[in-house]
Amino acid sequence: MPNRYDPMPAQGRSWCIAQVSVFAMTEFIPPGTQWFKLPSPFPMKRGGALHAARLAYETWGALDAGGGNAILILPGMSPDAHAASHPGNPAPGWWEWMIGPGKPIDTDRWFVICVNPLGSCKGSTGPASLNPDTGAPYRLDFPELSIEDGADAAAALVQGLGIERLACVVGNSMGAMSALSLLDRHPGIARTHISVCGATHALPFSIAIRSLQREAIRNDPDWNHGQYDDAGRYPENGMRMARKLGVITYRSALEWDGRFGRVRLDADDRDVDAPFAAEFEVEGYLEAHARRFVHRYDPNSYLYLSRSMDWFDLGEAANGNAIHTLSRLRGIERALVLGVKTDILFPIQQQEEIANGLRRASVETRFLPLPSPQGHDAFLVDADRFAPAITGFLRTLSFIAMPAEKVA
């Protein structure tokens, strides 16, 4: 059953599927990806270090002579760096309607960088990448991963591109956590901030859901303690169940009711011989969505990144007081905090907390609780609400010069 809301069905995307030696592990790297070599060794917050690691990213627009028109986008857990089409990869990206000439993030004015998260399987070093010490994939030998590690990697990229200060850092979902960590750990790295459906820490409901997702993967016998491959033994059932649980939380009950109601599957789409088989359209949708995801994301990467969100607590150094940490942020002049009233994964009160904390830091902050029916994923699909908000915020940033020539 087609997904009537998702902006980019699987068949519309293209990947470079990188085979890793004889181990049949795969990374899913979009054409046109650029790479930045991280400092080596690259220390990790919870111990250990990465050697010869890299960060995958893509860019749009031109960096002005002073390097002051750069916008960094930190995405959620599963996207790659291909947020929008460009000459190196003309396929539509996951935020196609947001980025480009004349669009809300206008590449005639801004130099835009989108980073694939550290720990992912879509270009940046992660559990599916080769461990230079062994020549085999890291798998569970990958160091424990924290949101802070991704923030530090993004900061290294910004510095490596010769950008002294970003015009804006934009964070979506998990990326909003990363953006807050970036601003906390690297004071002055950005003048402004756009937080989209983010949080300073995970709430018990979100932790519980992600715990079940990880359990579904780990309890699949074919996960085999992380020693699976994509050619034979692969935890397909665990990944299917994990993705279904996730999709349920990405949208809202209001949308599920409006899209599917109690409509039954057509007879041709039902397995009448299987006991308790799917009967309703919503069941068929979840199955189709999960099958598009399976074999397009590394299970170990899913485990690592999922757990990094549960661990994250911006207020960790202040006895769990995130407001206190936010109030001490420096170098940010203005902020836009966007949330969705129907979001059950990152509830709207979490975005309000971010806005209140930024105001305590004397940051001129606008908080917009949007009434989108589409839940957490609204920022990917609800252009009618998100585009005007981001367009309006960026148009007011008068301190940025028009780009002259690309210098990075």
**Residue bearing tokens 């607590």:** 313
For domain 209-301, say whether CATH 3.40.50.410 is its number.
no
The greatest distance separating any two alpha carbons of the chain, rounded to the nearest whole angstrom, comes to: 67
Residue 148 is predicted with a pLDDT of 98
**Tell me, what's the pLDDT at 267?**
78
Predicted pLDDT at 404: 43
Q: Which helix (H) or strand (E) is 183 found in, with range?
A: helix 174-185
Phi-psi domain of 148 (left: phi exceeds 0; alpha: psi -120 through 50; beta: other): alpha
State the pLDDT at residue 247. Answer: 96
Q: Which positions are catalytic?
A: 173, 343, 376
Residue 241 phi, psi (nearest 5): -65, -40
Task: For residue range 373-403, list pLDDT tens digits in order.
Answer: 999 999 999 999 999 999 999 998 865 444 4
Cβ(70)–Cβ(113) below 8 Å: yes
Distances (CA, A) of 257 to 24, 200, 209, 251, 281: 41, 30, 21, 11, 11
Architecture category of domain 10-203+314-395 in CATH: 3-Layer(aba) Sandwich (3.40)
Same fold, 10-203+314-395 and 209-301: no
Low-confidence ranges of the chain (pLDDT < 50): 1-15, 17, 19-24, 400-408
pLDDT value at position 229?
86
What's the predicted TM-score (pTM) here? Answer: 0.92
Which letter does DSSP use for residue 375 in this model? G
Q: Which two tokens stand for residue 113?
A: 């960088």
Answer whether 302's CB lies under 8 Å from 310's CB. Answer: no
Domain boundaries, the chain: 10-203+314-395, 209-301
- pLDDT, tens digit, 9 for 90 and up, residues 192-238: 999 999 999 999 999 999 999 999 999 999 999 999 987 778 999 99
pLDDT at 303: 98
**Angle at alpha carbon of residue 181, lines to 178 and 186, rounded to 5°:** 120
